[in-house]
Structure 1
């Protein structure tokens, strides 16, 4: 729990930077919130209300200052079937339930499991997201779509030029904000026919109001919404915690993962009661926020409040913002998000790390699901790690001078990955009176290794040898005492079964 002074500093320690960055983020949130609403099959106001609510609430209760949360594609795609089959009210109910599940995850301190996500998976996640952000802009550049002409490409190029060149003049004002102002003024003054924010859908003209989802409160409803809510909760937390790690690295600060889980849950639960869809942290907007000076809670709060003011109070003005300006900003975000150094290190990093990174990228881009990509990456990391540890395992043996005793010295980690090598290292045909298995340089980890030890001891005893296991550390001894059968009645019966 942070102190009041620390919490206050997170709000007011960087007022100017947070306000400006929050303004830029608010403008970038508008087209994405509308697009994510369309993905889920609901009215644009559902995504816009969600982005406002989540951004404002997470500013108060989140665990990572400076990180932006709102409606996202990752959660929107999970709701498509639910909306199609049961309607908006069930989406709102699933959003509330997803939030409650996330609060539970935070209270159970499940955020600690993020430590098992390797750096290679993190890099793959970032690169895949950068590719997806760029791919999401392609429809706005496709000549086959209505309103897209050569002028669109010229304006996007001009926007990128302003974004990258304006900082050479001054960094007092974020260049993406200048891009939006300049291109909007240019398009409006010249009367050019290009796609605008207003073409993506009608903007809401009223404030959100409290409402309770109009659904039957029974077990059947719970069975309908629970699978969707659980998926949204898991994907939302996964993307949020991954983004949190990235923001931690960018700002060289630490944050509270479990508090972020609780904060995401509170934000989603409340959002479902004002007609908004579920959301989570957004890496693209978070990077925009950090790169343009946003560090505190005020930036997320500003983004949410300005978003609501823009779409409700100044909807007519926002509607004329040309899409090429926002496309240019998102292309800049995708370029800045991608870890270009990871391409240079493909040859120098261990091959397993490179495979994990590339597999994560390929899976995310193919499935358009960040959770599946991360899961594949984590599984591959585990497999490669187990294989690497298994290679460090070895057994050597020493025969006594009188030829009556053989000592096997086990070195390394004895687990499921090395259990087969352990079993094959013994010569059960050798006629010796005594066998000593020295595990003082080893550690026994799991039931597979305990069973391998059982089989070795029992096979030697069946040949008439006296067997001793020595040097076991306390943790290994506790596991062996609990699971091993070689010193228990009926042990030889178990051997015949195997």
Structure 2
């Protein structure tokens, strides 16, 4: 339930750290927003405007204080084909529609489905993102790239030293901010020839303006943008909710998943009307924010506003920030994001959990698609879970003294994975007058188990035995009454026909 007092505290409960961490995040957002624009095939200002808009709006309407949302690679790569084939205006329209879909997901309460993502998948997701964040810095360390020399490595090392050693002096100022200020000052003073933010692309010099995407409002247009919008909406929500879970754990707080879906949707919808591309939560920038002391909504708001001020009002100065400083910050993020304990846990955790974690990491790193990696992890988790539950299933039987009646006692969970064991437990060739199937220790879950129950009863009846089914709980009885056909005319013919 919404509380005005809580909402106010989320804005004003951590003012100084939020302001400082927001400034650090703003500086780290600039080169990434430019890079993501290049990935999507659009002007750098499209990513920069998007990062400003999404950060500010999610700060106001999102469900997770302290989490940073902006233009991301995860959504940018989905728009490449659309931009290439139809142009920027269709990207903006797809962004608006993606936002509306996300709002609908939030209103429908779909955020609750995150509970089905296991801890192993979460760990794999985090480790994969840490690897991707580090890999994204490699082009800035490639000696064959323009502007990259051996001196770049010296500056990266010096930046990392400041990042990790400065907190021993004081934690009042975030060490990443100190790193940026020191390296920029030294580079400008001594005229070092290193790659800078300005080398990534031109910064905008005007404020964003409201505009309606210039596209024909036809069914054909909807058919073009809808597949892209759905993909962006799903991937954006998935990455946002996974990042939200991580920030929840890091800060020992809980947040509202459905509100986050709505907040992300409102941000993307509005962003499409100011010339920005779609985005979502960013685990790298969120980690920078949290590790720099950011906890409240003010940190994300500050990041967005500071980003706009920096690129529009102080573009000449910002363009001279050395890239090695920002590379060092992102390396720090990747090191801090990776769950190093998960490597040691490979020896002690169940093998199935380790397989799920490693499969998630491998799939995300291989495809660079978070949605596919998480989907693989969730599917594997489901398969392993079903296999474990199926092992807890069993059927025992007792023959009467006269040898004419047998009682089968079923225990455990009856579902598609236990059907084979259920059927194998019956001896249909045994001559019996009466068979009792006692399911008081079992629960019937799906149509596969109902059909198996039908088949067992009908086979016994076909051979002349009377069959009694006893002990069903209320939920199982409801399902059996609705789906079972063993008491209907021609039941055996119907069952064997499918």
Once residues 447 and 386 of structure 1 are traced to their aligned partners in structure 2, the CA distance between those partners, rounded to angstroms, is 16
Once residues 118 and 264 of structure 2 are traced to their aligned partners in structure 1, the CA distance between those partners, rounded to angstroms, is 23
Question: Which residue pairs with 1:201 in the alignment?
Answer: 201
SS in 2 for 1:258: helix
Residue 377 (structure 1) shift:
0.3
Question: Which residue pairs with 1:59 in the alignment?
Answer: 59
CA deviation string 1:280-319 (max 9, x = no partner) = 0001111111111111100000000000000000000000
Residue 497 (structure 1) shift:
2.2
CA deviation string 1:383-407 (max 9, x = no partner) = 0000010011111111111111111
Once residues 497 and 41 of structure 2 are traced to their aligned partners in structure 1, the CA distance between those partners, rounded to angstroms, is 57
CA deviation string 1:463-485 (max 9, x = no partner) = 11110111000000000000000
Once residues 174 and 3 of structure 2 are traced to their aligned partners in structure 1, the CA distance between those partners, rounded to angstroms, is 32
Task: Map 1:94-133; keep pairs closer than 5 Å.
Answer: 94-133=94-133
Alpha-carbon contact 2:236-2:280 (below 8 Å) kept:
yes
Once residues 69 and 493 of structure 2 are traced to their aligned partners in structure 1, the CA distance between those partners, rounded to angstroms, is 60
Once residues 312 and 272 of structure 2 are traced to their aligned partners in structure 1, the CA distance between those partners, rounded to angstroms, is 19
Question: Which residue pairs with 1:79 in the alignment?
Answer: 79
Alpha-carbon contact 1:458-1:495 (below 8 Å) kept:
no
Once residues 495 and 246 of structure 2 are traced to their aligned partners in structure 1, the CA distance between those partners, rounded to angstroms, is 51
CA deviation string 1:363-416 (max 9, x = no partner) = 000000000000000000000000010011111111111111111111100000
Q: How many residues align?
A: 498
Alpha-carbon contact 1:68-1:281 (below 8 Å) kept:
yes
Alpha-carbon contact 1:117-1:378 (below 8 Å) kept:
yes
Once residues 367 and 190 of structure 2 are traced to their aligned partners in structure 1, the CA distance between those partners, rounded to angstroms, is 42
Question: Which residue pairs with 1:258 in the alignment?
Answer: 258
Question: Which residue pairs with 2:148 in the alignment?
Answer: 148
Residue 495 (structure 1) shift:
4.0
Alpha-carbon contact 1:99-1:264 (below 8 Å) kept:
yes
Once residues 20 and 475 of structure 1 are traced to their aligned partners in structure 2, the CA distance between those partners, rounded to angstroms, is 55
SS in 2 for 1:305: helix
SS in 2 for 1:409: strand
Moved over 3 A (4+): none
Once residues 148 and 469 of structure 1 are traced to their aligned partners in structure 2, the CA distance between those partners, rounded to angstroms, is 77
Alpha-carbon contact 1:458-1:486 (below 8 Å) kept:
yes
Does 1:320 pair with 2:315? Answer: no
Once residues 443 and 17 of structure 1 are traced to their aligned partners in structure 2, the CA distance between those partners, rounded to angstroms, is 53
Once residues 480 and 89 of structure 1 are traced to their aligned partners in structure 2, the CA distance between those partners, rounded to angstroms, is 54
Question: Which residue pairs with 2:189 in the alignment?
Answer: 189
Once residues 128 and 249 of structure 1 are traced to their aligned partners in structure 2, the CA distance between those partners, rounded to angstroms, is 18
Does 1:22 pair with 2:19? Answer: no
Question: Which residue pairs with 1:175 in the alignment?
Answer: 175
Once residues 58 and 496 of structure 1 are traced to their aligned partners in structure 2, the CA distance between those partners, rounded to angstroms, is 56
CA deviation string 1:64-113 (max 9, x = no partner) = 01100000000000000000000000000000000000001011111010
- Specify every segment of 5 or more residues in structure 1 that has no aligned partner in the other structure, as ranges: none
Once residues 257 and 228 of structure 2 are traced to their aligned partners in structure 1, the CA distance between those partners, rounded to angstroms, is 23
Question: Which residue pairs with 1:285 in the alignment?
Answer: 285
Question: Which residue pairs with 1:300 in the alignment?
Answer: 300
- Specify every segment of 5 or more residues in structure 2 that has no aligned partner in the other structure, as ranges: none
Once residues 279 and 166 of structure 2 are traced to their aligned partners in structure 1, the CA distance between those partners, rounded to angstroms, is 33
TM-score of the aligned structures, taking structure 1 as reference length: 0.99
Once residues 492 and 308 of structure 2 are traced to their aligned partners in structure 1, the CA distance between those partners, rounded to angstroms, is 74
Alpha-carbon contact 2:455-2:492 (below 8 Å) kept:
no
Question: Which residue pairs with 1:488 in the alignment?
Answer: 488
SS in 1 for 2:327: helix
- For the aligned residue pairs, the C-alpha RMSD in angstroms reads 0.7
Once residues 65 and 143 of structure 1 are traced to their aligned partners in structure 2, the CA distance between those partners, rounded to angstroms, is 40
CA deviation string 1:9-51 (max 9, x = no partner) = 0100000111011011001000000000000000000000000
SS in 1 for 2:343: helix
SS in 1 for 2:442: strand
Question: Which residue pairs with 2:271 in the alignment?
Answer: 271
Alpha-carbon contact 1:90-1:213 (below 8 Å) kept:
yes
Once residues 203 and 493 of structure 1 are traced to their aligned partners in structure 2, the CA distance between those partners, rounded to angstroms, is 73
Once residues 406 and 291 of structure 1 are traced to their aligned partners in structure 2, the CA distance between those partners, rounded to angstroms, is 66
TM-score of the aligned structures, taking structure 2 as reference length: 0.99
Residue 496 (structure 1) shift:
3.9
Residue 189 (structure 1) shift:
1.3
Question: Which residue pairs with 2:157 in the alignment?
Answer: 157
